[in-house]
Chains A and B, each alone.
Chain A
């Protein structure tokens, strides 16, 4: 056989090997609830899932394809995922709320949000009430949102994003007040909505008044305000830090690309919050949507969540986020768990957030 043909055959075999994705195990013995949902989906002719969330969440379009493959393997189905990158979680939550109020089919079968969005949705009849712990023993009762409107599916650990070219390792802030170092004056940014500070204010070691005093000093320290998703403006050097950010998972993604960016959780301001998923009451494909959530919470699903989103639920077995968190707690950093219950118990956080935002806005006229 001529060498060129050997090379061709070898190349073809390699191509086939790389083209066939790693096979995920199909559920051997589905629970009665899974069987019921599959039967209901079949009966109602649900063959598609309409998904709208931010292009950066769960890997956007590319991530949706991975989940589609896993979904169909797991349930032996041939469902099609129609993913569309949408606006912010706040805008999507607002849109779905209005659609449900008008009795329209929701534009997404799964509503993704954080504890602050879901904290608001608990008070409204937007999401279907369904006990997600029935799906799998992996979905613990404590993960399920009040009124059963959704479930936690990944952990968010907020902190400070910084540019490693401008902030040397020995000068990385250890405590929140370290960002007030005069050498950073005018060079750091905060978020337009003063994110996270209201939560930190709820920590016993901070309190509202101390946080207000801190925000007032921070307002004089920051050079500007950007959205939490604008990490690239830190990477470019326009700002050398973002205090506080929307979670370290975004930084991990950019680090993999070689970006000079780091993420640190101040010892005195650590908090853990969560991403949630639920099914709108007017979802066109509610049964497939619940099967999707079950998949996301499975071991295979959490692997894809980490692969696409660089975070998973730290309290699930084999979590990859748990390691980073363990490192922190080993340093005796106290982490505040901020879930929907916490948000509902502290309604004052909304007003505080407005107040902090106004302080940060400053009075610069330009």
Chain B
């Protein structure tokens, strides 16, 4: 019940005209960028980060969370009306959603996506209210070695579990860790990887890395392969659903939520897996399996709910442990650090007002999004027709402005260009960008925890291994890293069993 009291206090905090304005601004900007091709919520938060340094931390976080939720809503509009999903999380929505749109049911597809997102977002945020403090209670007892082990699980999770290639994920993570290493060592004051350049002594700012990789890298990559003829947008009226659509949607919404939240909450979950699982489940349970592949409404309702529930789920590790599990969360951690707040289990204890106001703002933002998305969908769809040269020139414009504003030095703009080219190369060679950004943000923290552990044990390496929580973490890491080997052994054993069975039969 304490949680609810705190949440109500959080509502009290949020319900000021200024904060409501900020939430409204956030969901509007979030929806717009979600709809716009080429811009995701991570890039938007990165671009806005330097601008918000003048704001109160609570207001900045309300803005970011609103953009995050808004981006999820907007993304579904794009994937339904254009058959080319911008984010990996909305790939599944596009399968049935675009078929529905082509069959003249775009209004219903958008409606089930928006209402499903609202339902899933609300339930998942409520789950967050109850789960997050529990995780904090558990995490607060953890020492430096356990914390190190959990960070390492997150590293392995984002690089080896998410994404299609483990070696490419790990390569990206290591590049990120290297970028995070640049600067003066926090204990001894030794310069590392600064190459004698004074501007690098303070390290490379997270904003510059995020803007470089997400915004400049993306703009350059799109420029290299720009579609000369813009993809066709399916025209749409005001979203609505008939009685039959409601009947077919509500169960997928709830099942999608059940998949999405836990996957979002674990360090290696992400949104792709639950959206895919939700799609498969709906296909299996549907009374109209023949409609799947031709525009089944369940195939939009379930994955969209899973997508939004997973977004809320990612806030559990973000707020309780200081661990980001997606790119937007990673940049929000960077923002917290920029305000001098220490992300981690102590955040809830030291800044309860901020955390509860943030969560309350999620409920409000979610309700605003429903109002904003249902009647205004045709207006949002117009954004898809913005001339691409202006769109991507605008991205480069805001990227330069943001990166310069961090330290007011032109050096950062050259650094931004180098990081942009890195982002370009990563997109060309299929290296995922999430492990890199997580490495940049969590790398220094991991080193700090490792050195703190060794300090406590007086340099004895056994100090790194810690207690049972850490053992479990290392076991998970070992299984994930050795999985190809384990799978091979298991297959061999199974094969030899089969052979033996055959011999017995013979």
B and A form one assembly = no
